[in-house]
Amino acid sequence: MVTRQRWLIGSALLVAILATVPLFTDRRDLLNLLFLVYLAVCLGQSWNILGGFAGQVNLGHAAFFGIGSLVARNLWAVQNYPFSLAFVAGGLAAVAFAMVIGMPTFRLRGVYFAIGTLGVGEVLRLTTANALPLVSALPTELVNTYDLASRYELALGLAAASTLAAYLLLSSRLGLGVLAVREDEEAAQATGVDALRHKLAALAVSALFAGLAGATFAYYHVSYYPELAFSPHWTFDAVLITFIGGVGTLIGPVIGAVFYVLVREQLAVTLVSVHQVIFGILFIVVVLTLPGGLVDLSSRLRRPRKRAK
Q: Which residues bind another protein (CB under 8 A)?
A: 57, 104-105, 107-108, 110-112, 114-116, 118-120, 122-123, 126-127, 130, 232, 236, 239-240, 243, 271-274, 276-277, 279-281, 283-284, 287-288
Return the number of the residue (22 or 246) whose C-beta is nearest another protein. Answer: 246
Closest contact distance (angstroms) between CB of 280 and another protein is 3
Residue 202 CB: number of other CB atoms within 10 A?
Answer: 28
Closer Cβ to another protein, 78 or 126, answer by number: 126
User: From the CB of 297, what's the least distance to another protein, in Å?
Assistant: 17
- Minimum distance from residue 290 beta carbon to another protein (Å): 13
Residue ranges of alpha helices (H) inside 171-273 are 173-183, 185-190, 195-220, 226-229, 232-245, 252-270
Shortest Å distance, C-beta 74 to another protein: 21
Q: 35 vs 243, which CB is nearer to another protein?
A: 243
Minimum CB separation of residue 267 from another protein in Å reads 11
* Long-range CB contacts (within 8 A, 24+) of 103-107: 103/200, 106/56, 106/196, 106/199, 106/200, 106/203
> Smallest distance from the beta carbon of 284 to another protein, in angstroms?
4
- The residue (of 81 and 106) whose beta carbon lies closer to another protein is 106
DSSP 287: H
How far apart (Å, rounded) are the C-alpha atoms in residues 143 and 273?
32
CB of 271 to another protein, least distance (A): 7
Kindly tell me which of 32 and 276 has the beta carbon lying closer to another protein: 276
Nearest-angstrom CA–CA distance, 106 and 27? 46
Helices 252-270, 232-245: axis angle to 10 degrees equals 120
Size of the chain, expressed as the number of residues it contains: 309
**Smallest gap, in angstroms, from Cβ of residue 294 to another protein?**
15
Q: State the DSSP code for 224.
A: B
User: In terms of CB distance, is 145 or 270 closer to another protein?
Assistant: 270
Query: Is the CB of 20 or the CB of 273 nearer to another protein?
Result: 273
Rounded distance between C-alpha atoms, residue 45 and residue 16, angstroms: 20
Report how far residue 43's alpha carbon sits from residue 37's, in angstroms, rounded to the nearest whole number: 10
Angle CA 148–152–156, to nearest 5: 175
Candidates 122, 119, 65, 73; CA nearest to 94 is 65
- Residue nearer to another protein on the CB measure, 212 or 238: 238
